[in-house]
Amino acid sequence: MARMESLTLTLRSPDFTTARRIAQAINAFLGEPAARPSDNSTILIEVPDTYEGSVVNLITDIEQLRIEPDQQARVLIDAASAIIVMG
């Protein structure tokens, strides 16, 4: 059976800050720089040798990590009063 060398996680709600936080949490958990965000919706993970042959265990360990997602920016425009609120 071929060795699975990497995984790709895709975020449902793309966000650069959240992608970075996920990669940092995975790296802290694994104790090595195995995860890196490649864009605002994708995190690439190199499967560590300790998980060789047990990628399911890696995925279940990763899905247990707690990450605080970044809040989405909102823009409200009131055309009647010409007020724009961003936050």
Query: How many percent of the chain have pLDDT more than 70?
Result: 82
- With a cut of 90, say whether residue 31 has pLDDT above it: yes
Q: Tell me the domain boundaries of the chain.
A: 6-86
Please write the tens of the pLDDT for every residue from 39-80: 999 999 999 999 988 999 999 999 999 988 887 656 667 677
Q: Under a CB-based contact definition with an 8 Å cutoff, are residues 65 and 27 in contact? A: no
The residue with greater pLDDT, 21 or 76, is 21
- The CA distance from 4 to 54, in Å, is 9
CATH 3.30.70 fits domain 6-86: yes
pLDDT at 70: 80
